[in-house]
Structure 1
Amino acid sequence: MDKYKILFQILLAAAIRVGLIYSQYRQTIADRVEVSTLLNSWKRMTEGVALYRHGISPYDGDIFHETPIALYLCDFMINNIPDFIGLVYVLVDILSGVTLYFTAKAYMVELEETQNRDSKTYAKGVENLLMHQRDYKMCPKYVLAAYLFNPYTILSCVGFTTTTFGNLCYSLLFFSMVKGNRLLCCASLALAVVQSFYPVILLVPICIYNCRNSSRRILSIAVTITCFITMLSLAAYACYTIMGDWQFVQAVYAVSLSVTDLRPNIGLFWYFFTEMFEHFRLLFIYSFQLNATLLYLAPLALRFHNDPMLLATSLTALIAIFKSYPCLGDVGFYMALLPMWKHLFNSKAVVPDMQQSFVILCALVITSVLGPTVWHLWIYSRSANANFYFGVTLAFATAQIFLITDVLFAYIKREFTLKHGIIKEEQKAKLRLSLD
C-alpha cells in the first residue's frame, strides 16, 4: 500500500510540473527574479548555445555564466530533443526527490541504531522524546513530499533553471554520503563545485562520515580529499576539452566572487553593493564571501560532528541564504531535508523543542507573497522603490536564519534533555530579592 501511495505522489508531482510547463504561465515563472538568476537562467542558456553553434565563445560577453558541461548538455537537448526538454526537467526533478527519499530511509536506519546504542545512557522520564517505529517509517515520506510539492522546487523546475540539475547533484551527494560511497560522493560534490564554488565546504561533513567507522581516520580523510581533487580535476578538464580554453573560469566563478552583476534577487548582496561607496567594495566582498563559506564551518563542525548529516544540511542552508546569487530552488532543496528531524517538533515534550515554527512559517509565506507584489509596485507601477523589495528579501533571509537556528537549538536541547532528564518547574532555579 505504501508503494502505491509513493507512486501516486510521484505521478501527481510530475503532472503538476508538466501542467505548468505546458501552460501560459511558464514564461512568466521563468522570468521571475526569484526563480532565475544570471547563473541559472534558461534564457541565458539558450543565448549561450546559439553563440556556441555559430563558433562564437559565449564567454566573450557578459551574458553566459554557466559551465561548459551545462552548455554541452543543453546544446544536446536543444538540438536533439527540443520538444521534450520539459519532460527532461520533470524527470530530473522527480529523480532528485526519490533520491532524497532513499537518503532519508538510510539516515533513519542510522538514527535508530544510534538511539538503540545510546538508550542505556538516557535519563529517566524522557520516553516522550524518543523516536519510534512510526517516526522512522514516516520521515522519508515527508521528505519526498516536501521536495515534490514544495512550491520553490516546482517553480525552479517549471522555469527551466539549471538549479534543477544542481539539486540532483546535491541529492546524489547526500545519498552517497549517508551510504558511505566515497567515489560517487566525491564525483557529485565535484560537479556541484564546478557549477558553484560554495559547496566545497561540504567536503568537511563528507570526511567526517567517511572516517567515523575507520580505524585510520587521517588516512581516510586524505583518501577522501584526494578522491575529490581527482574528480574535480577531471570535471575541470572536461570543461577545458569542450571549450578549448580556460576562459570559462572568469565568466563562471569570478562573477560570483566579485558580484559584478547587481540585478535584484532574493539574496543580500545586490542591495548592499549598489548603495555602498566603491572604496569599501573589496572589504565587503571579503566579508560577505567569508560569511557564506568559512565563517560558520568550524563552529558547526566542532559542535555537530556526531551528526554529519545535520551538519551538511545546515551548511547547505547557509549557502542558500548567503551566496551571491541565490534562488528559490536552492531554498526548496534544503527545506526538503528538514523533515528528517521531525522528532524535534515533538509537541508531547514538557518544553517543545522548536518554539518558533509558527512564526517562521508565517514569515516565509508572507514574504513569498509580498516579493512579487512589491516587485510589481517597484518595476511596473512605480509606486515603490528598491528599499521595499530589499526589505522583503531581508525578511525572507531572516526567516530562514531563524528556521536553521531553531532546528539546531532544538537538536542541542533534545540532546541535553536525553542525558540529564527533563527539568521540572519546581526544579528551576529562582532569583529572589531580599531586604536582609
Structure 2
Amino acid sequence: MSKLSSSLGFVVPAISTCKFLAYLTGISDILIHDQQLSSPLTSYFRLQEGVHLFQSGIDPYDGGSFHHSPLLLALFDTVIPASRLAAYVLWCLCDALAALTLAKIWRSRQRVAQSSRDALIASIYLLNPYLLLPSLALSTSTIDNAFTLLSLSYACQGNASASLLLLALLVHMSPSSILILAPVILLLLSDPLSHLASPKPFPTRLNRAIPLLFTFIIYMGVLAVASCIAAGNLLWISRSWGSNLMLPDLTPNPGMWWYFFTEMFDHFRPFFLMVFSVHLLIYIAPICIKFQYDPLYAGFLLLGVLGTFKAYPTLADPGLFLSMISLFPEVYPYFRHPIVTALLHIHSALLLPLFNRLWLTQGTGNANFFYASTLVFACSNGAALIDCIWAGLRIAVGEAKEGDHVVQE
C-alpha cells in the first residue's frame, strides 16, 4: 500500500511541475483568447480587466464584458496578486487538488484507504486534453471543476456542511451547476458505493433532505450578501447570474446556444431562452429517480448533461464528465458503442480548432464552418452520455439471455 501511495504522491507533483514549466514558456498567451478553452464567463483576460476597472474605481458590471462572480473579483483584488505567476501557481494547485479529490472519490466508492487505481485516475484527469488545455488558457472552469469534485467528495464522506458550502460557492460562480444539487443531497442521505448492479428503491428520507436544502439556501444567501458587499451594488446579479439565462454575449464557443441566438429574431428570443434554460432542468428528476440507488452516478450523468447543453461551455465541461468515467469501471463491459463514441470525439477534436482557424484567422470559412464542428462535438458528448446511461441501466440486467425477465424493486 505504501508503494501505491508513493506512486500517487509522485505522479501528481510530477505532472503539475511539467504543467508549470509549460506555463513559463508563454503558452498561455497563445491560448488565453481561444473561444474553445474559455468563455466570456470563464475568461482570465476578462477577469483581469474587471479587477483593473474595480481597482480604478469603475464598476466592472456597468459594461457588458464582465460576467464573473464578485467573489472571484474580491479574491483577485485582495488575496491573489494580479500577476501571471500567481495565476500559474493557483491553476496548478487547483488541477492537482481536483486530481487528488477524484482519486479520493474513487476510494470512497470502493471503501478503501488506498487503491492501485489512484495514480491512474489522477493521471487521467491531469492529462485529459479537454481539461489540460483550458487550464493552460487560465480558464476559471478549472476552479469550477475543482469545487465540483470537492463538493462530491465531501458528500461521499457524509460531511454535509462542507459539501453544501462548496456547492454554494460553485453555483455562485457557475449558476448552471445547480443541476447537481439533487444528487449531492441524495448522496449525503445514502452512500457512494456502487449499487448499479443491484438497484433498489431509495429509502424515503424527505424529512432529512429538507434541512440539507435549507442549509444550502442559507449558504447561498450569505454568499449573495457577501457578493453585494464586494460589488457595492446589485448590478452583478443580472450581469453574472443573468448571463446564463439571457445570453448577452454571443462570442462563439463549443456549445449550441450562440449560433442559434445569433440567427434568432428578437421577438422569438425570450421564448427560446426559456426553452433552452428549462431543457437543462428537465433531466434532473428522471435521472435522479432512475438512479436513486446510486446518486454519485446520477451526479456524474448530470455533469454530462451540463457539459453538453450549458449556455457557455468550454472543453473543460465535457472534460470533467469524461474523466469521471474512470470512477465506474463496472459499467465498461456494458458500453454499447464505445469505439464509435471515441472516434466521434477524435473527429470533433480535430474539427473544432481547424474550422475555428478557417473562419476567424484565415477568413476562408464562415460561422457555419465552426458551428458544424460544435454540432459534431455535441453529438460526441451526447453519444458518451447515452452510452453511460445505457451501461448504467444494462449492468442491472447482467448477462440475462433473451426471454429472461428481470424485475427491479
Question: Do structure 1's residue 335 and structure 2's residue 316 form an aligned pair?
Answer: no
Residues 27-42 of structure 1: matches in 2 within 5 Å?
27-42=29-44
Residue 129 of structure 1 is matched in structure 2 by none
Residue 268 of structure 1 is matched in structure 2 by 256
The Cα of 1:80 is off from its aligned counterpart by 7.0
Alignment check: 8 A CA contact 1:48 1:64 kept = yes
1:287 and 1:41 map into 2 onto residues whose CA distance is 26
1:395 and 1:81 map into 2 onto residues whose CA distance is 37
Residue 401 of structure 2 is matched in structure 1 by 423
Residue 18 of structure 2 is matched in structure 1 by 16
Residue 135 of structure 2 is matched in structure 1 by 157
Question: Do structure 1's residue 197 and structure 2's residue 175 form an aligned pair?
Answer: yes
The Cα of 1:275 is off from its aligned counterpart by 1.4
Residues 323-402 of structure 1: matches in 2 within 5 Å?
323-346=310-333, 353-402=334-383
Q: Deviations over 1:338-392 (max 9, x none)?
A: 111122223xxxxxx1121111111112211211111111122222111111111
Aligned to 1:291, the other structure's residue is in SS state helix
Residue 293 of structure 2 is matched in structure 1 by 306
Report the TM-score when normalising by structure 2.
Answer: 0.91
C-alpha change, 1:76 and 1:158, in structure 2 (3 Å) is farther
The Cα of 1:82 is off from its aligned counterpart by 5.5
C-alpha change, 1:416 and 1:215, in structure 2 (3 Å) is closer
Residue 317 of structure 1 is matched in structure 2 by 304
Alignment check: 8 A CA contact 2:288 2:298 kept = yes
Alignment check: 8 A CA contact 2:37 2:139 kept = yes
C-alpha change, 1:44 and 1:68, in structure 2 (3 Å) is same
The Cα of 1:23 is off from its aligned counterpart by 1.2
Q: How many residues align?
A: 392
Residues 250-289 of structure 1: matches in 2 within 5 Å?
250-289=238-277
Picking from 224, 232, 239, the partner of 1:244 is 232
CA RMSD, Structure 1 to Structure 2 (Å)? 2.1
One-letter code of the match for 2:322? M
Q: Deviations over 1:9-64 (max 9, x none)?
A: 11232123112211132211111111111101111111111111111111000121
Residue 291 of structure 1 is matched in structure 2 by 279
Alignment check: 8 A CA contact 1:139 1:340 kept = no
Identity %: 26
1:196 and 1:389 map into 2 onto residues whose CA distance is 25
Report the TM-score when normalising by structure 1.
Answer: 0.85
Contiguous gaps of at least 5 residues in structure 1: 111-135, 347-352, 430-436
Residue 99 of structure 1 is matched in structure 2 by 101
Picking from 176, 193, 205, the partner of 1:217 is 205
C-alpha change, 1:219 and 1:361, in structure 2 (3 Å) is same
Residue 66 of structure 1 is matched in structure 2 by 68
C-alpha change, 1:79 and 1:4, in structure 2 (3 Å) is closer
One-letter code of the match for 1:31? H
Alignment check: 8 A CA contact 1:37 1:327 kept = yes
C-alpha change, 1:414 and 1:63, in structure 2 (3 Å) is same
1:304 and 1:190 map into 2 onto residues whose CA distance is 23
Aligned to 1:64, the other structure's residue is in SS state coil
1:253 and 1:310 map into 2 onto residues whose CA distance is 27
The Cα of 1:333 is off from its aligned counterpart by 1.5
Contiguous gaps of at least 5 residues in structure 2: 192-201
One-letter code of the match for 1:165? I
The Cα of 1:337 is off from its aligned counterpart by 1.0
One-letter code of the match for 1:40? T
1:99 and 1:313 map into 2 onto residues whose CA distance is 15
